Amino acid sequence: MRGCRLLFLSLSIAGPGVLVYAQAPDQLDTLSASMVVADDDRALLSGLTSYDGEALRTGVTALGVPDIVRTLKTLSGVASGMELTSGLYVHGGDGSDNLYLLDGVPLLQVAHLGGIFSSFNTEAIRSLDFYQSGFPAAYGGRASSVVDISTKEGDIRHHHGTASMGLLDGHFTIGGPLPGHRLTYYAALRRSWPDILLLPALSVYNSGKDQKTSGSYYLYDMNVNVAWTPGTEDKISFRYYRGRDKFRYSYSSQDKYYGKEIYQEESFRKIGMDWGNLALSGEWIHHFTRNAPLRVLAYYSRGASDIGYETKEFGLQGDALLERSFSGGDRGHVSLLGVEGEQSLYLEHHRIAVGVDYQYARYVHPGFQDASHTVSLYADDKISLGAWTLLAGFRLDGSRTAQASFVIPQPRLMASYSWGAPLTVNATYTRTVQFSHLLTSIYLDLPTNRWAPSSDLLPPTDVHQLTVGFRAFPHPSLSFKGEVYYKHMDNLVMSSNGVTLFPSADDGNGDYACGNGRAYGMALEGRYRTATTETTLFYTLSWSWRNYPDIHPYWFLDRYDNRHKLTIRHAWQISKAVGLDVQWDYHSGNRVTLPEHVLERPGSPSKLLYSAPNNMQMPAWHRLDVGLRVQKMTKRGHEGVWTFGLYNVYCRKNPLVLLLEDSKQNPGHYSLKGYALPAIPSVSYMIRF
């Protein structure tokens, strides 16, 4: 099965090598539950980090909202990207090359509000496996990383739930048994309320004015899981996920026009944007024997956006009133329909897995439609021979569209040697292939971005990666791990036609260039634990390069080439009821493209000259965040948790964006203006029942 799963005693099946807790996850001690979960592949796969759900819900949170992608961004080997956004840039990746799986279903639209929040409700998450390298052969379709998320299921005996309210959003979860034989349900809902908070503010702002401004924005996520365990050999699950963003803005004015008669008309401008995901799946797990589980999954996944805009204006031509109106829209979606099966076999020295996947993808955008069929065969064999552990895997992907066909083998090889518990060294080689491209010119996750299948002009992204790593446990309270990596990327896609909000999805018009990349570096992690504290340090030294011959003849540094990146976390359980979390982040500045010279030409506009893309580095970036948790039992015996946070404690002015401005007093003399975020407080309250 894909990745290792963390199962609890409330479930009836626990496979070999699975770590089992004697308590329900919601009842685990806060500090111990926040530790990274161990599994039977961690010593082998240096690029694997696993969390239980509680680890993702505790600690410091930006704006008071826990977010799994921002948590993963703090890990070594991952570039931070832009402040407060949830983009993930792994080992020199571009953010579009991460495979997000929700209970095995791939999602395409994985961000809310331009990437400020990810599309995953942390309250619904049971466990998460994050692969930066060493991908098992079961994973394919993306080039840089895998984020494999498992959601919660209901308790077979009792009903449990949570309710939470914060400054920006709230959530409600409930789960438990259903009438019938071993049938459970779990449901989770999250909704933001900036739209509700804006209503009184806009009402006051518009009071007494002829010009009216209105706007609203909200997001919501919904997870519903139903599981049936008819016996010890079988488990059947049905899952539903829906995530959506809705944005509205309008401006109107009442104007009078004096011609042959007096006209009083209303002009306006309106824009509406809806975007998000839908995922439906059914899964069957059957154990022929305890050591031979079969997993079958069928799914439908759809990422869609719908943008509409309308304007109406008036003007006089002579004494006649003319109306000018315009309306338009932009609607698109990518739909995935897939089925996959995997048979595993656990033997004395082997863990064998073989599987087959089929996926049909349909791409629909204005002026562009296409479809692809992809079939994948894979096999893994984990071999344990004393101190040696080997994982040999092979994946064969075949993809076909109306324009092109590709068949690409992907070998995977991992080996580790252990000197007992204190030290393990490992090495991995993986080849990964990505058949779909995100066509965009903006470094934000917007609903206007396009997905398109590979073609002869834009072949599949092909990545080779080699890592060598170690894990050391010199003391029960102290651990270290690290790796060095080298990654070569072919057929990366980059816009060659400047910045545009609505990029073309047709790859035959020359708007996109195909190039190569290479990334290399070192990632280190140290962790020290006591009974009441945990201190963790993540450090990355990295280089990331790009080469697009159609844009620039030489290699140049990537936008998120952050030479140094450091995160220090400290968690202190002050008492049974009070916990303190502190996190400090630092990374070298991102890179931007800025003119280095201005060429003055008499009678013509000034010309800006550049030596290379991403030729300038922004200032170094650092920030301190603090969070405080206070737990208290209510009068009815429920657990209540207050969470207080302060983002950017010392109000560091980290430039979020830089704008190049021409002087009005002295044209041709340019200056840079940066925009930064201040210190932002947050508070939320949650009750468990």
For the chain, what is the mean pLDDT? 85
From the list 132, 136, 145, 118, the residue with the least C-alpha distance to 77 is: 132
Report d(CA 193, CA 171) in Å as an integer: 11
Give the per-residue pLDDT at 444: 63
Report d(CA 29, CA 32) in Å as an integer: 6
CB 81 within 8 A of CB 98: no
Which of 23-37, 41-55, 377-391 reaches the highest mean pLDDT?
A: 377-391
What CA–CA distances, in Å, run from 395 to 8, 409, 475, 625? 31, 6, 39, 43
pLDDT at 534 over 70: yes
Report d(CA 469, CA 416) in Å as an integer: 9
CB 156 within 8 A of CB 679: no
* Number of Cβ atoms within 10 Å of the Cβ of 248: 15
Burial 570-603 (b: 16+ CB within 10 A, else e): bbebeeeeebebbbbbbbbbbbbebbeeeeeeee
- What is the chain's Cα-based Rg? 27
CB 226 within 8 A of CB 184: yes
Give the per-residue pLDDT at 358: 97
Work out the pLDDT band at 175, boundaries 50, 70, 90.
very high
Higher-confidence position of 42 and 503: 503
Which bin fits 288, alpha (ψ -120 to 50), beta or left (φ > 0)?
alpha
Of the candidate ranges 64-73, 226-235, 458-467, the one whose mean pLDDT is the lowest: 64-73
Higher-confidence position of 407 and 655: 407
* Number of Cβ atoms within 10 Å of the Cβ of 300: 15
- With a pLDDT cut of 90, the percent of the chain lying above it is 51
Mean pLDDT of 316-335: 84
Higher-confidence position of 501 and 126: 126
Work out the pLDDT band at 287, boundaries 50, 70, 90.
very high
Report d(CA 350, CA 65) in Å as an integer: 42
Give pLDDT tens digits for 633-681.
888 888 999 999 999 999 998 887 777 777 777 766 777 788 888 898 9
Whether the CA torsion 112, 115, 117, 118 is positive or negative: it is: positive
pLDDT at 22 over 60: no
Rounded-to-5 percentages of helix, strand, coil across the chain: 5, 60, 35
Give the per-residue pLDDT at 334: 93
Give the per-residue pLDDT at 59: 78
Report d(CA 531, CA 577) in Å as an integer: 15
Give the per-residue pLDDT at 499: 55
Work out the pLDDT band at 144, boundaries 50, 70, 90.
very high
Mean pLDDT of 347-365: 93
pLDDT at 394 over 70: yes
537: Cβ–Cβ under 8 A, 6 or more apart, which residues?
524, 525, 526, 527, 566, 567, 568, 569
Give the per-residue pLDDT at 643: 92
Structure tokens that stand for 209 in this block: 């004015």
pLDDT at 215 over 70: yes
pLDDT at 285 over 70: yes
Q: Where are the beta strands (DSSP E) in 511-554?
A: 512-529, 533-547
Give the per-residue pLDDT at 436: 92
Domains and CATH numbers, the chain: 25-688 (2.40.170.20)
Report d(CA 104, CA 238) in Å as an integer: 12
Give pLDDT tens digits for 503-514.
655 544 567 888
